Amino acid sequence: MTTATRTDTGTLRALLEAPGPFASVYFDREMRPQRAEEAGARWRELAARLAREGADAATVDALTSRVLDALPGTGTLAAFAAGGEVRYAAELPGAPHGDVAEFAPVPHLLPLLEWRQDHPAHVVAVVDRTGADLLLFAEGSAEPVRRTVTGPDDEIVRSPGLAQMRFQHRAEDSWEHNATAVARALDTALSEVSATLLLLAGDVRARQYVTKHLPARVRREVTVGHVGGSRGAGGPADDTARTVAEASRAGHARTAELLRQLEHELGPGGHAVEGVHATLDALALGRVGTLAVTDDPNDQRTAWFGSSPTELAERRDALPPDGGGEPHEGRLADVAVRAALLTGADVRVLEPGTPRTPAQGTGGICRYT
């Protein structure tokens, strides 16, 4: 069993490849100490629901121990169990989404994936004329790895007066040398966490020099944003909640851009599909590069899947007749997410009512036509 804040795709794939059925739980831990009894009552209600849906006693007991051990706390606990064992659990800081408990052939990963896309991999650099403090956030992480970059030059104060022009130039050169060192460190940091978002804070002139010396790869592939504050106590390096919120806004913007791209690619000769039938067919061929799917708790549609990631269809009789193992029926969105993650596709979870949502709440951008 793995417990983490980081929700890397490899871990989720391993969970999907494990034998089911699965009990999937999202438990809101935001509570005051005097409400401990209320939290216990809430969990007993969820446990009873899982039992009614067919979860075995050993699996429910394993989840009970995991949930109660996590109290009191903050944020949401996501836990997935099967065969009397908690296979994966993740603590998700931030706004809770309410309690969820489901027992089904495939794990219910959509709330976890939605939380992860609101926490994209990113790097924060709080710069001044001597160097920078760096915060490295892996995808789905609310806790950064911290680093300090100190530039090679320490002559950073300009002397007043025309007679001191050479000292002013020397100071400017020092700022630029130090910014070059920061830019090199940022290139390494962005690659380390596979981030395509860089947030810069701190001294305006230092930020300009850092931006100037970012490698061409970073300028081409990375979105650069700005946050307020400077190095020192109370700055962005201390207020990580503020930088996480800024990254979340960038995550929402990325979703909107993906939907604009999907809409454009739906034209003749485009690389997109929409609607349940077309999307499941594309997933069954391994064509989908990015799946867009709506997480609607009221959606009762189902789909069938087999042991292979590409064995899925709307109806059982539409599955390949020579598939291995007994086919299973699961919630449509969960079956689509399973196929996407196991075939190496990205997943973008949409809230109901999101503008430009593809037809029937399901679509994708394909790797090829």
CB under 8 Å, gap of 24 or more: what pairs does 57-62 form? 58/83, 58/84, 59/23, 59/83, 59/84, 59/85, 60/23, 62/86
- Which DSSP letter does residue 158 get? P
The span from the first CA to the last CA of the chain, in angstroms, equals 40
pLDDT digits (tens, 9 = 90+) for 223-256: 998 888 888 777 777 677 788 888 888 888 889 9
- Residue 94: predicted pLDDT: 73
Query: Which two structure tokens, joined as six digits, stand for 165?
Result: 């022009």
Give Cα separations from 234 to 119, 139, 199, 242, 282 (angstroms).
22, 24, 17, 11, 49
pLDDT band at 170 (very low <50, low <70, confident <90, very high): low
- Residue 323: predicted pLDDT: 64
The yes-or-no verdict on residue 7 having pLDDT over 70 is: no
Quote the mean pLDDT of the chain: 87
Query: Which two structure tokens, joined as six digits, stand for 349?
Result: 């979870």
The CATH class, in words, for 122-252 is alpha beta
Query: Which two structure tokens, joined as six digits, stand for 42?
Result: 């809430």
Choose from 21-35, 60-74, 239-253, 346-360 the range with maximum mean pLDDT: 346-360
Helix boundaries (H) for 193-231:
204-213, 216-221
What percentage of the chain exceeds 90 in pLDDT? 62
Extents of the domains making up the chain: 2-108, 122-252, 266-366
pLDDT digits (tens, 9 = 90+) for 304-323: 999 999 999 999 999 887 76
Choose from 51-55, 160-164, 166-170 the range with maximum mean pLDDT: 51-55
Q: Mean pLDDT over residues 155-183, rounded?
A: 64
Q: Which fold has domain 266-366?
A: 60s Ribosomal Protein L30; Chain: A; (3.30.1330)
Model pTM? 0.83
- Residue 267: predicted pLDDT: 84
| Fold match between domain 122-252 and domain 266-366 | no
Q: What is the DSSP string of 316-359?
A: GGGS-TT-SS--EEEEHHHHHHHHHHHTT-EEEEE-TT-TTPPG
Q: How far apart, in whole angstroms, are the C-alpha atoms of residue 104 and residue 335?
A: 11
- Residue 171: predicted pLDDT: 57
- Residue 159: predicted pLDDT: 47
pLDDT band at 163 (very low <50, low <70, confident <90, very high): very low
- Residue 172: predicted pLDDT: 61
